[in-house]
Each structure stands twice: as C-alpha cells, then as structure tokens.
Amino acid sequence: MENREFARVLAETADLMEIAGEDGFRIRSYRNAASAIEGYPERVDDILANPERKVTDIPGVGKGLASVLEELSRRGSFEKRDALLAQFPPTLLDLFKIQGLGPKGIALVYQHYKVATIDELERICKEQKLRELPRMGAKLEEKVLKSIAQYRQRTGRFLLSFGQKVAGELIPYLSETGGIEKIAAAGSLRRGKDTIGDLDLLVTGPGAADALDRFVQHPKAHTVLGKGPNKASIQYGLEGLQVDLRALPHESYGAAMQYFTGSKEHNILLRSRALKLGVTLNEYGLFRVDDQQRVAGETEEEVYAALGLAWIPPELRENCGEIEASLEGRLPALIELSDIRGDLHMHTTETDGRATLEEMAEAAHALGYQYIAITDHSKALAMANGLDEKRAVAFAKQVRDLNRSGLPLRIFSGLECDIKRNGEMDLAEDALAELDIVIGSVHSHMNLEATEMTDRLMRALESPSMRVMGHPTGRILLNRDPFPFDFERVASQAARRNVYLEINGSPERLDLSGAMVRTAKALGAKFAISTDSHQTKHLGINMPFGVSMARRGWLEARDVLNTLPLAEFEKAIHKS
C-alpha cells in the first residue's frame, strides 16, 4: 500500500467517526496521522516490514495508530473501520464534498431520511424536507442545492498537475515506439488551464500507427474507448482520465498542434480570419480556397504567420483579445520560469512543513535562487503550531544571525499571518514589524457574505506590515469555490497600498487564476509568484504552475516582485 492510500483510509475513517459523533480528540489524531503519513518521505509499508524500525517514529503516530497501520497493511482494513462501515454506507462520505451540512447534519439526514447519496440529498432539498429537521432551514436547503450543482460541474475534471503527471508517463512510453518524430500534448494542458477535462496527445512519424497500438496496450489503459487508423482514446488509471492520441502526417504537425491546442473559441476566430483572407484552416493545414493549394501547416509559427499574425503563446489562446494584440504587435513578453529569482512563501518544521529552514534553503539554492522568505503560520493556526509574537520576534533575530553566519542564499524572515474574521492581523503590529516580509492570508471564516469579506480584506490592507496577500480567493480546485468578495475593489486597494497579490502555485490552489490576474493587472496590481511549499520538493514542482497562471494573466517579468535581483527586491519590500 502506498502512503497516499494509508492517508486516504485514515482520513475517511475520521470522517465516519465524525458522523458517528465520536470524541473530537480521537478524530483529530486520525486526521493528524493521515496528513503526517501523506507527506512522510519513507513508505509506511517499508517501515512496517523492517524489524529495526517503528512506525511510531512518524510524527502523530502513537501506539494505537501503529497497530491500526499494521492491521491496515496486513489486510486492507481495520476493526474500527469495519465497525463504522457496518453502521454507515460508504457513499455517505460523498456528502462531505457538499458544503453546508457538516458531519452532524449528515448524520441527521441519514437517521431521518436514510439519505446516503448526493442524489438523495438533492431530492430531499427539492422536496423541502431538509428544513423540517432541527436547526436546518430554507436557506440551508438553497445553499446545499447550490453546492451540489457546483460539485456536479467540477466532477469529471482533473487538476492540471495530474494531467501533467499522466502526460509525463505516456509521452516517454509512446516515444519508445520506433519511428516517432514528434509527440506532444495539446489541448487545455498545453494552454496551462487550472483544470483539464481530458488529455490530447499528438504523434507524427512513420511509427505513428504503431504508437496507437502501443497506446491502447498501456497497462494503465483500463478502458479503450475507441481506436481507428488515426486516433485512439482510452481511460487512464483508476482516476479514469480520458486520453486522446491522434496520429498525423509530418507536414500537418503545426496545423494539428494549433487546432487541438484550442481553445475552441480562439480557433473559431482564427478560422473566420482565415476565410476573410481567402484560405481555410483545419487540422491538416492552411489551404487556399480557390485551388486548395497548401499554404502552411508544418509549424504553428508558419500557420500564424500566413494569417498575418505573430505566434501566440498557448496560455493566451482564450479569445480574450490575443488575436488583436498579435495583429497589432502588442503581445506581452510573457514571464518565464527562468525569470524567477526567489520564492516567497514556504513552511518549515516550525509549523506544518516537513523540512527544516536549512533544508529548504539548500533546496532553493539548488534551484538557482538568490533569496527566499520563510513564512511559517501564525498562532491562529493552533493545529499547525503557529508562531505567536514572541516566537516571531525570536525567529526574525535567528534569521538575522543566520544571514551573518553565511548561508547558500539570502533568507528573509517572513510570516504567513492569519487575517482574523474582523480583518485584524493575528499578531500585533510591533511584532510583525520585526519581520522582513509578511503575507496576510485568510484561513478561517470563509463563508462570510461578500460585503463582510470585502471589508475584512480592505481592513487587512491597512496593516502597515502586510506586503503580500496570500492565496487571495481561498479556492481549492475541484473542492472549494473562491469565497465571494469584491475582487476589483480589493485588487485596486492592494495596488494603492503597495501590497503584492500572491499567485499561489500549489497545484490544488492556483490562486489567483489567470483571468483574475489579468483583471488585477489592469487595475495596477503587482504580483508575487510563490509555491507555498511544505516540503523541499514542492519548491521545484509548484513554481512552474504559478508561472503558468501568471502567463495566463498576461504578466511580464516586471509585473512580478520575485523576478527582481536581490538588491532591488530588498528595496521593494522595505517598509516606509
């Protein structure tokens, strides 16, 4: 069993214990163990198999959980879980994905109406029966229905990071077929969209037909949805991501990349432009209307050039003014990963990170960065052992000393300070003033009305210490929508207050989205692209995702704080 699987089963058990109304302390111990195991560098199974090791070495795993892990590893379940599953159907766990009920509410609808699936819950709400239960009302019914609609909308989509992982498995596998010239991903993945519906791969070369054969034989191709001479589709892995592979002639590669990269709306505009110029555009090439003569098709650049356009980076192909900009020579010089000179959001073992400050610094140095900010949590996140004033001030001093004693790169002392419900900072301003850079983030009370949330963020922007607004919308992709607030008002105020908006590159956040970045840029906002790393490997993995969102928001290097060389960066964060 992989650690991820151990973690999932423990977290599910904790959910079931909540429905059963069990002791909060025990539930928390399951949750803590789940998250510790998920991020643990060694496999639990390996530790269990080694007589010289103990799973109780994993933080948060005591004697009780150690025997749970042992049983789980041995037979795929454990006594406690079996007992809960005898009491409740496993589909009840799906209801946790719907906002508004909480574990008590789920227990209640199950006891009263035997509701155990999302469909049944929807029916109860539509029949206005939910409101008849204690402490529930018409407003909650409405909220639950809305959340169900959102849930349906997002199912069937996958994280960009997951799509990249699958592409990273399939492309090398397919490349092993003989006679392949080119193989690449198109579609929403190439555009860097935050979630993808399916994965679109293209292949050219004399071996392309063999690649289609090899494709449907992949061990993880658990369903073959179709296979013809030029195209095959599979469902990949347990998650069931659809992957389409298309085989194309060499001379059509550019036209096919253009066509299958989309977006559909971008393509529609491009095709109508082609027609005005007396040519037709399809996945095989660009052809003159009068005599069907091929004009272009081998590369994307020549397709765009034949239409009188500069090549348009895939991230911009969303029908949001990119064709006009290309025509008029005002496409942005988009930021690139190599422009990034530091990372400004990361956690360490001081709070909920898995690596020490030194380990994070080492890993950041290996990426070629000039500087980082260490930004652990503040005390409101008690579960994460957040810093209080005293620890924050001591940390600032520790960093000053460390920098003097010599480190592989410059470290700035920071904090990811909670923004309290009323918009105040979690720590006193005199303590915050000791730190080099303070991120203000919302981690609680995310269900406020839009006006209240706007006021809260506007008040936070009054803090003299706050320099970055962390993951500004609070969204968790496929899981939690952005909290509602007046984004334009907040972004404008951030610009006025010289507070940088974070583009959080953590793959399940990608917060801000490209569209919001672009809106904020138009209002004068500046940005910081950060990884929110909780272990060393996140530093390298998450940054490209943040850069993708920035590119989708039309950003150039100069729009982004952490492209600045050290000396200029230091000036930029200096508090007046």
Report d(CA 367, CA 539) in Å as an integer.
Answer: 8
Rounded least distance, CB 79 to Zn ion, Å: 36
The tokens for 333 are: 């010089």
Report d(CA 312, CA 301) in Å as an integer.
Answer: 9
Q: Closest CB to Ca ion belongs to which residue?
A: 187
Q: Is 351 in the site for Zn ion (CB under 5 A)?
A: no
Site for Zn ion in 306-345 (CB under 5 A): none
Q: Looking up tokens 């006006």, which residue turns up?
A: 451
Interface region with Zn ion, contact rule CB under 5 A, candidates 363-371, 441-449, 480-488, 521-529 = 441-449
Q: Which of the choices Zn ion, Ca ion, ligand DGT, none does residue 351 contact, using the CB cut-off of 5 to 8 A by kind?
A: none
Report d(CA 281, CA 285) in Å as an integer.
Answer: 6
Nearer to Zn ion, 244 or 418 (CB): 418
Rounded least distance, CB 259 to Ca ion, Å: 11
Report d(CA 126, CA 140) in Å as an integer.
Answer: 12
**Cβ within 8 Å of residue 512, ≥6 positions away:** 472, 473, 501, 502, 503, 504, 520, 527, 549, 553
Q: Is 533 in the site for Zn ion (CB under 5 A)?
A: no
Q: Which of the choices Zn ion, Ca ion, ligand DGT, none does residue 268 contact, using the CB cut-off of 5 to 8 A by kind?
A: ligand DGT
Interface with Ca ion (CB under 5 A), residue from 39, 105, 163, 187: 187
Q: Which of the choices Ca ion, Zn ion, ligand DGT, none does residue 141 contact, using the CB cut-off of 5 to 8 A by kind?
A: none
Site for ligand DGT in 243-262 (CB under 6 A): 259-260, 262
- Residues touching Zn ion: how many (CB under 5 A)? 1
Nearer to Zn ion, 101 or 415 (CB): 415
The amino acid occupying position 254 is: G
Q: Which of the choices ligand DGT, Ca ion, Zn ion, none does residue 285 contact, using the CB cut-off of 5 to 8 A by kind?
A: none
Q: Which of 388, 417, 411 is nearest to 499 (CA)?
A: 417
Report d(CA 180, CA 182) in Å as an integer.
Answer: 6
Would you say 470 and 345 are in contact if contact means Cβ atoms under 8 Å apart? yes
Q: Which residues pair with 476 in a beta bridge?
A: 480
b (16+ CB within 10 A) / e for 96-115: bbbbbbebebbbbbbeebeb
Site for Ca ion in 227-256 (CB under 5 A): 244
**Cβ within 8 Å of residue 104, ≥6 positions away:** 21
Report d(CA 111, CA 134) in Å as an integer.
Answer: 12
- Which H or E run contains 522? helix 514-522
Interface with Zn ion (CB under 5 A), residue from 13, 351, 441, 536: 441
**Interface mask (CB under 6 A) for ligand DGT, residues 200-219, using x and -?**
x-------------------
111 three-class SS:
helix
Q: Is 315 in the site for ligand DGT (CB under 6 A)?
A: no
Report d(CA 399, CA 414) in Å as an integer.
Answer: 10
**Interface mask (CB under 6 A) for ligand DGT, residues 175-204, using x and -?**
------------xx----x--xxx-x----
Interface region with ligand DGT, contact rule CB under 6 A, candidates 264-272, 340-348, 423-431, 527-535 = 264-272
b (16+ CB within 10 A) / e for 195-216: bbebbbbbbbbebbebbbebbb
Rounded least distance, CB 442 to Zn ion, Å: 8
**Cβ within 8 Å of residue 506, ≥6 positions away:** 471, 531, 532, 538, 542, 545
Nearer to Ca ion, 101 or 196 (CB): 196
Report d(CA 351, CA 147) in Å as an integer.
Answer: 32
Q: Is 280 in the site for ligand DGT (CB under 6 A)?
A: no
Q: Which of 427, 432, 443 is nearest to 378 (CA)?
A: 427
Site for ligand DGT in 65-124 (CB under 6 A): none
Q: Looking up tokens 């810093």, which residue turns up?
A: 387
Interface with ligand DGT (CB under 6 A), residue from 29, 164, 177, 267: 267
CA-based R_g, the chain, Å: 26
Nearer to ligand DGT, 485 or 545 (CB): 545
Nearer to Zn ion, 279 or 468 (CB): 468
Rounded least distance, CB 495 to Zn ion, Å: 22
Rounded least distance, CB 160 to Ca ion, Å: 11
Q: Which of the choices Ca ion, Zn ion, ligand DGT, none does residue 441 contact, using the CB cut-off of 5 to 8 A by kind?
A: Zn ion
What are the distances in angstroms from CA 277 to CA 257, 286, 322? 21, 11, 19
Interface region with Ca ion, contact rule CB under 5 A, candidates 131-139, 181-189, 389-397, 512-520 = 181-189
Report d(CA 6, CA 71) in Å as an integer.
Answer: 11
Phi, psi of 159 (to 5 degrees): -65, 145
Nearer to ligand DGT, 317 or 467 (CB): 317
Q: Which of the choices Zn ion, Ca ion, ligand DGT, none does residue 352 contact, using the CB cut-off of 5 to 8 A by kind?
A: none
Q: Is 375 in the site for Zn ion (CB under 5 A)?
A: no
Would you say 281 and 261 are in contact if contact means Cβ atoms under 8 Å apart? no
Interface region with Zn ion, contact rule CB under 5 A, candidates 1-9, 283-291, 438-446, 558-566 = 438-446
DSSP secondary-structure letter at 454?
A: H
Interface region with Ca ion, contact rule CB under 5 A, candidates 15-23, 188-196, 220-228, 566-574 = 188-196
Q: Is 263 in the site for ligand DGT (CB under 6 A)?
A: yes
- Site residues (vs Ca ion, CB under 5 A): 187-188, 198, 200, 244
- Site residues (vs ligand DGT, CB under 6 A): 187-188, 193, 196-198, 200, 259-260, 262-264, 267-268
- Site residues (vs Zn ion, CB under 5 A): 441
